[in-house]
Amino acid sequence: MNPSPSDSPSYNGRPIRSIQSLAKAVYCKPQRLAFVSERASDLYRVAKEVPKADGTVRRTYDAKKLLKDIHRLIKTEILDRVDFPPYLTGSLKGQDYKSNAEIHVGAAIVIAEDIGNFFPSTTAERVLDIWRNFFRFSAEVAQCLTNLTTRNNELPQGAITSPQLANLVFWRNEPQLHARFKADGVDYSRFVDDVVASSKTPITPKKKTEIIAAIYGLMKRSGYQPKRRKHELKTARERMTVTTLNVNDTVGIPKEERSRIRAAVHRLEGLVTSGRGEVDLKHEYAVVAGKVNNLGRFHPGEARTLRERLAALDLC
């Protein structure tokens, strides 16, 4: 199945053929670009460490100013010139976990897969392929950009340039997969490392197997492995979730999370009433208000009531 232009990401800028042209594109002297490129892996700090369910730690990184300034310009002058198809929803302008879930609302069946160790598995070799063959930059430019946008030969989670590169890792094969699924009446989306396929009508066990095999094939052809323990297959008779949101009839936050948000408001009210001086109430208010505001994107009536209770605390 040949993909249509709308199925494929496309770069709308000119190919960059020399380091001098790259330096001009990102408003940086060639000597400075070379200096930073040679040292880029050392120009990050760990921003956050989050323990994962499997006992490992997810680390996100923040580039130091010398590198971050160049990252910002690579993003605005090069990466922002890429048009992405709507089935790619992770960390892109105008897209988020809600728009990802909306693709699958009202499905009869949802199949969800997870790409294992996505960022560490996105090697410098794969990033080089993007710069060299998707963007069609010269070999020296592609290598320089690879050095600037990887850390210790991996795509660093948290870097300004990483989201758009993450959405391009399957640029060779993902458009064909999407086109094939679309022709078969199957909806497809990818939210960074979360891959989802769904159908508005029931499908046979054979078809389910074919869909899963096609997704695993996409991953393996590009050197990734599925995280099989995260595999999920749900039907409309069950609660179906996509990127943590319910998708059975409309996109919504699961009732357990809504209950936790209500409990957080109640707890904050208790802290204010008791006058707990050791608690930073303004910080607590900001955290809870953020959760209530997010609730309002999906359940405005519930959020309105909670906002009124927060306003009564007179903490803003």
Give percent above pLDDT 90 in the chain.
87
| C-alpha–C-alpha distance, residues 25 and 45, integer Å | 26
CA distance 206 to 151: 42
| Local structure of 4: helix, strand or coil | coil
pLDDT tens profile 161-206: 999 999 999 999 999 999 999 999 999 999 999 999 999 999 999 9
In the chain, % of residues over pLDDT 70:
98
Selection from 70, 76, 61 nearest residue 35 by Cα: 70
pLDDT at 19 over 90: yes
* pTM of full prediction above 0.85: yes
Residue 6: count of CB within 10 angstroms of its CB: 13
Spatial separation of the C-alpha atoms in residues 215 and 209, rounded to whole Å: 10
In the chain, beta strands by DSSP E = 10-11, 44-51, 57-63, 82-83, 109-114, 186-191, 194-199, 232-235, 241-242, 245-246
